[in-house]
Structure 1
Amino acid sequence: MVDSLRDQLLKSGIVKQLKDEKRQQQPPARQGSPHGKGKPPHRPNKPARSQEEMDLAKAYAMRAQTEAAERKRLEQAAAEQARLKRERKAKLQQLLEGKALNKADADQVRHFEYGGKIRRVYVDAPQLAELNAGKLGIVQHGGHYVLVTQSIAEQVRDIDPHLLALLVDPATGGVGEDGVPDDLMW
């Protein structure tokens, strides 16, 4: 059987139950004069809260306070993450401005794996050779794949490694024994 919060607090000992609740109630206040000259009209007094009710109210207040503090902490953390993301995006925009090597008349397709899917970028023959040798890299920016130099690709890796789509390791050359680039899994 599910107990109410009050019953659970009573059982755990957080809220102390008094045997004599009448002791906690205050005696009724005096009534004013029958004519009420200069005095407010008589209102019946509310019964005083018992110690048990006060402790329960304190427990609710403490819980509300901790929940509010947790919400505030989460909001601050989210705001900080958003600020950092904006800063990285601005740095990346500034870094890539005017440095894209993509050509509109490129006729060869270079496939690569990024984000769990096979993607493609169009390059010309010299760019394909340099890309496979690790002299060029591919960066995901603004929903597009941008061909950049190795140094720019490494700077992008320092800013946000998730945006570096392809940078072949120059030591291995990026091509397996079968002549297929290592980053492709056919």
Structure 2
Amino acid sequence: MAHSLRDQLLKAGLVTEAQLEKANQPKPAPSRQPQQHNQTSRRDNRPARTVEKPQRTENKAPRPTPKEKSDLAQFYAARAKTEREEREQAEQRQREIAARRKQTREQVAALITANLQNVDDADIRYNFVVGDNIKYLYVTEAQQQALADGNLAITFLGGKRCLIPLDIAQQILALDPDKLIVINSPDAEDPLTPTHLPQGERG
């Protein structure tokens, strides 16, 4: 019956002998393992590739050794000690200068107080110059002449105008050259011009 169908198809021209022979050939059995699996197997057999990450190179200073740390600590300690000693010495010098100034002021004040020549009821006004200012104090007639002759001097103590002998004025200037003391020069053209006129007025 199969041959009858074959003959009928051939006679009808629906198929050819070659097509019938090809149709009768057995089909190959399909592969049990999928192609993808084979590719995976081949990849699995390859050695694993290791990817190394590049290491970062940072410019870090080497850490100091314990000995270097000790030397550095000693250096800073020595410098701190030196600075502290210099500061203490400077403060000590300032204290000494202040103490000497105080002692000098006390000695000057003692000399002025012990040798003060002011007279409370003096009625002659005596003018003298301090810088650009004309000042005055009241003196007796004898004191006026002594001032004109340069035998008396004028100074200040606590804001008060004080008459003192010339030799006491010279002692005060030896102690404190900046102390304001007015001494009249008999040979000066202007009788109001003192021979000693320091910068500024201090009591």
Q: Distance in 2 between matches of 1:19 and 1:157?
A: 66
**How does 1:113-152 map onto structure 2 within 5 Å?**
113=130, 118-152=134-168
- CA 1:112–1:174: 2 relative to 1, 3 Å: farther
Question: What's the CA shift for 1:138?
Answer: 1.2
- Give per-residue Cα distances to partners, 1:37-66, cap 9 Å, x unaligned: xxxxxxxxxxxx583x55554444333222
- Partner residue of 1:181 out of 162, 175, 192: 192
Q: Is the alpha carbon distance of 1:110 and 1:117 closer, same or farther for their aligned partners in structure 2, counting shifts above 3 Å?
A: closer
Letter in 2 for 1:106: A
> Which 5+ residue runs of structure 2 have no aligned equivalent?
1-59, 196-203
- Alpha-carbon distance in 1 for matches of 2:146, 2:128: 14
Query: Structure 2 CA distance, aligned partners of 1:89 and 1:59?
Result: 45
1:89 aligns with 2:105: yes
Identity of aligned residues (%): 27
Q: Deviations over 1:73-115 (max 9, x none)?
A: 112112211222232233223323342111223330322216x
Q: 1:97 to 1:182 in 2, by over 3 A?
A: closer
Aligned counterpart in structure 2 of residue 63 of structure 1, from 48, 69, 79: 79
Q: Give, in whole Å, the separation in 2 of the partners of 1:174 and 1:143.
A: 29
Q: Distance in 1 between matches of 2:62 and 2:188?
A: 86
- CA positional deviation for 1:68: 1.0
Structure 2 residue identity aligned to 1:65:
K
Letter in 1 for 2:158: G
| Counterparts in 2 of 1:91 and 1:61: CA distance versus 1, 3 Å | same
1:59/1:117 CA distance change after superposition, 3 Å: farther
Do structure 1's residue 111 and structure 2's residue 134 form an aligned pair? Answer: no
Provide TM-score, normalisation by structure 2: 0.53
Alignment match of 2:183 (pick from 134, 148, 167) = 167
Query: What CA RMSD, in Å, does the superposition of the two structures yield over aligned residues?
Result: 3.1
In the alignment, which of 151, 157, 161 is matched to residue 173 of structure 2?
157
Moved segments of 4+, more than 3 Å: 53-60, 116-120
Equivalent in the alignment of 1:74: 90
Taking the TM superposition and a 5 Å limit, the aligned residue runs for 1:40-51 are 51=68
SS of equivalent to 2:119: coil
Check whether the contact 1:110–1:123 (CA below 8 A) recurs between aligned residues. no
Q: Give the structure-1-normalised TM-score.
A: 0.58
Q: Unpaired segments of 5 or more residues in structure 1?
A: 1-17, 25-48
Q: In the TM superposition, what is the alpha-carbon distance from 1:117 to its structure 2 partner?
A: 5.2
- Asked which structure has the greater CA Rg, the reply is 2
C-alpha change, 1:110 and 1:124, in structure 2 (3 Å) is farther
Q: Tell me if structure 1 keeps the 8 A contact 2:156–2:180.
A: yes
